[in-house]
Protein backbone atom coordinates (compact mmCIF):
# COMPACT_ATOMS: atom_id res chain seq x y z
CA UNK A 1 0.00 0.00 0.00
CA UNK A 2 1.35 3.41 -0.94
CA UNK A 3 1.85 6.12 1.65
CA UNK A 4 -0.84 8.74 2.13
CA UNK A 5 0.17 11.92 0.30
CA UNK A 6 -1.33 14.19 2.95
CA UNK A 7 0.40 12.27 5.75
CA UNK A 8 3.64 12.78 3.82
CA UNK A 9 2.94 16.53 3.64
CA UNK A 10 2.16 16.64 7.38
CA UNK A 11 5.47 14.84 8.05
CA UNK A 12 7.26 17.30 5.71
CA UNK A 13 8.42 14.45 3.46
CA UNK A 14 6.44 15.90 0.53
CA UNK A 15 6.51 19.56 -0.50
CA UNK A 16 3.59 21.90 0.03
CA UNK A 17 2.94 25.61 0.39
CA UNK A 18 1.87 25.75 4.04
CA UNK A 19 -0.75 28.39 4.86
CA UNK A 20 -1.54 27.62 8.51
CA UNK A 21 -0.73 25.07 11.18
CA UNK A 22 -1.50 24.17 14.77
CA UNK A 23 -0.97 21.07 16.88
CA UNK A 24 -3.77 19.13 15.18
CA UNK A 25 -4.30 20.67 11.74
CA UNK A 26 -2.38 21.75 8.67
CA UNK A 27 -3.51 23.95 5.78
CA UNK A 28 -1.74 24.07 2.42
CA UNK A 29 -2.35 25.30 -1.11
CA UNK A 30 -4.03 22.84 -3.48
CA UNK A 31 -1.71 21.77 -6.32
CA UNK A 32 -4.58 21.97 -8.86
CA UNK A 33 -6.54 25.04 -7.71
CA UNK A 34 -10.16 25.36 -8.80
CA UNK A 35 -10.46 28.99 -7.66
CA UNK A 36 -8.05 31.90 -7.11
CA UNK A 37 -7.81 30.74 -3.49
CA UNK A 38 -7.90 26.96 -2.98
CA UNK A 39 -6.50 25.69 0.29
CA UNK A 40 -6.80 22.22 1.81
CA UNK A 41 -7.25 21.89 5.57
CA UNK A 42 -6.37 18.47 6.98
CA UNK A 43 -6.10 16.84 10.38
CA UNK A 44 -2.52 15.85 11.13
CA UNK A 45 -3.78 12.48 12.31
CA UNK A 46 -4.78 10.19 9.46
CA UNK A 47 -8.56 9.88 9.14
CA UNK A 48 -9.72 8.34 5.88
CA UNK A 49 -12.74 10.59 5.25
CA UNK A 50 -15.66 12.40 6.86
CA UNK A 51 -17.64 9.16 7.04
CA UNK A 52 -15.03 7.52 9.26
CA UNK A 53 -15.03 10.20 11.96
CA UNK A 54 -15.75 8.91 15.46
CA UNK A 55 -17.72 10.58 18.29
CA UNK A 56 -14.43 11.44 20.03
CA UNK A 57 -13.38 13.48 16.96
CA UNK A 58 -15.78 16.34 17.78
CA UNK A 59 -13.04 18.56 19.18
CA UNK A 60 -10.89 17.91 16.12
CA UNK A 61 -13.76 19.04 13.88
CA UNK A 62 -13.86 22.27 15.84
CA UNK A 63 -10.13 22.75 15.29
CA UNK A 64 -10.56 22.11 11.57
CA UNK A 65 -13.30 24.78 11.50
CA UNK A 66 -11.03 27.25 13.29
CA UNK A 67 -8.28 26.60 10.74
CA UNK A 68 -10.76 27.13 7.88
CA UNK A 69 -11.74 30.48 9.42
CA UNK A 70 -8.09 31.45 9.84
CA UNK A 71 -7.24 30.57 6.23
CA UNK A 72 -10.28 32.47 4.92
CA UNK A 73 -9.36 35.49 7.01
CA UNK A 74 -5.71 35.46 5.95
CA UNK A 75 -6.75 35.24 2.28
CA UNK A 76 -9.25 38.10 2.66
CA UNK A 77 -12.19 35.87 1.73
CA UNK A 78 -14.41 36.49 4.74
CA UNK A 79 -16.04 39.78 3.61
CA UNK A 80 -17.27 38.45 0.21
CA UNK A 81 -17.64 34.78 1.07
CA UNK A 82 -16.04 31.44 0.44
CA UNK A 83 -16.97 27.80 0.07
CA UNK A 84 -15.94 24.87 2.26
CA UNK A 85 -16.21 21.45 0.62
CA UNK A 86 -15.61 17.96 1.97
CA UNK A 87 -15.76 15.17 -0.61
CA UNK A 88 -16.37 11.58 0.53
CA UNK A 89 -15.59 8.76 -1.89
CA UNK A 90 -14.72 8.54 -5.55
CA UNK A 91 -18.19 9.54 -6.82
CA UNK A 92 -17.75 12.87 -5.02
CA UNK A 93 -14.32 13.40 -6.56
CA UNK A 94 -12.20 12.47 -3.55
CA UNK A 95 -8.81 11.33 -4.83
CA UNK A 96 -6.75 11.34 -1.61
CA UNK A 97 -8.04 9.08 1.18
CA UNK A 98 -7.28 11.49 4.03
CA UNK A 99 -9.99 13.77 5.45
CA UNK A 100 -9.60 17.24 3.97
CA UNK A 101 -11.66 20.38 3.65
CA UNK A 102 -11.36 22.53 0.54
CA UNK A 103 -11.49 26.27 1.17
CA UNK A 104 -12.36 27.98 -2.12
CA UNK A 105 -12.83 31.65 -2.90
CA UNK A 106 -11.53 34.75 -4.57
CA UNK A 107 -14.24 34.82 -7.24
CA UNK A 108 -17.98 34.28 -7.53
CA UNK A 109 -18.57 30.52 -7.28
CA UNK A 110 -21.27 28.86 -9.38
CA UNK A 111 -24.05 26.64 -8.05
CA UNK A 112 -24.70 23.79 -8.36
CA UNK A 113 -21.05 22.85 -8.08
CA UNK A 114 -21.01 19.62 -10.07
For residue 14, the enclosing domain spans: 5-105
First to last CA, the chain: 30
pLDDT for residue 111 = 86
Of 46, 49, 98, 100, which is the active-site residue? 100
pTM, full prediction: 0.94
Active site residue 102: no
113 in a domain, yes or no? no
39 in a domain, yes or no? yes
110 in a domain, yes or no? no
Section 3-16 average pLDDT: 96
- Which CATH number covers residue 53? 3.30.428.10
CB 72 within 8 A of CB 105: yes
pLDDT for residue 3 = 86
Amino acid sequence: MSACLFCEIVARRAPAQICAEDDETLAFADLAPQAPVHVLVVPKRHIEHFGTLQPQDGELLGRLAQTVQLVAGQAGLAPRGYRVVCNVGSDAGNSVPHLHLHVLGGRRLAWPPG
